Structure 1
Amino acid sequence: MSNHLPKEARVIPLRPHGARPAGAPSRQAPPDPAVKEPLWRDLVGDVLRRERLAQERTLKDVADEARISMPYLSEVERGRKEASSEVLAAAAHALGLSLGDLLSRARGELIRLTSHCAGGGRRGASTPSHDGMCLAA
C-alpha cells in the first residue's frame, strides 16, 4: 500500500475570484481591484521628488543639507521606505518647506487621487467636500 496522497489537479485561476471576462454582463460593477488606494509613503515621496526637481537640485545636494544619506533619501522619494517624522522634516526643510507644507501637499495628492478613483463609484455614495482647488491643464 502506498502512502502517497491521491493525485489531484491544482487549479490556478487566471483571474481574481469573482472576476468576469471582458464583455460579460454584470449586475453591479464591483470595485476595481487593480485600482489601489495610494500609500502615504508614496505620496510623500512624490511630493519630495517633485519639489527637488522643481528646484533643479540633486539628490546628493538635498541629502547633504538634510543630513541624511543619499541612498535613504532616494528610497524615501521612491516610496520604498516609511520615513520617520524627523527624516521627513529634515528633507522638507532642506527643500525650504515646513513639515506641515510637505504633509499638506501629500494630503492634496491623496484627495486628488482618491476623488478621481471614486468619481465612477457607487450611486448614492456621498462625495466628501474638500477645502482646496483642483486645476487641470
Structure 2
Amino acid sequence: MSTPREEFLAGERPDDVALFLAESYVSDDRLGQFGTDVEGGVLIVVDGERGRNAFQAATGTGAMEFAQSAMSLEGEIDDDLTGGRCPEAPDDDDHVPQFVFAFAEERNEDVGGIYAEGDVIHAYAQCRCGTAYSDRWNVSQR
C-alpha cells in the first residue's frame, strides 16, 4: 500500500498538490496531523483547492501567484520536495527551502518534450534568503 506522498511523487495524483513547510518557517505542531513529518518539516498532499488555500494560509501568498513569480528562475528542488539548491548560493547551507509548492501534470504527447515522456512534477520553492525558484522533472526519469 502506498502513501499519498508516494502516489503524488509517482505522478498518480494529478488533482492534488503537495506542500512542504520547513519547521524553521512554521512551528505549528498541528500541521503534522494533515501531512507527513519529514526531516526538516512537514509534507502535505491534499486536493488542489484545499492545498492552494492551505498554502495561502501558511505563507500569506497565493499559490499560483507564487508559482508564476518562481518560474522565472530555475533551480534544483529535491525529488522528495523537502530540499533543494538555491540558484543564488549553490554551496551555502543557509540557502534551504522554507516552503515548496508542487503539482503533477499528466503525460501529454501533444505538448512534446518531457511532457510526451510521462507525468511531470512542477515544483516551486522559496529559499530562506528570499529567492523564489522552480524546477520540473519527468517522474519516470528521477
Question: Structure 1 length normalisation: TM-score?
Answer: 0.31
Computing the radius of gyration from Cα coordinates, the structure with the larger value is: 1
In terms of fraction of residues, the more helix-rich structure is 1
In terms of fraction of residues, the more strand-rich structure is 2
Question: Structure 2 length normalisation: TM-score?
Answer: 0.30
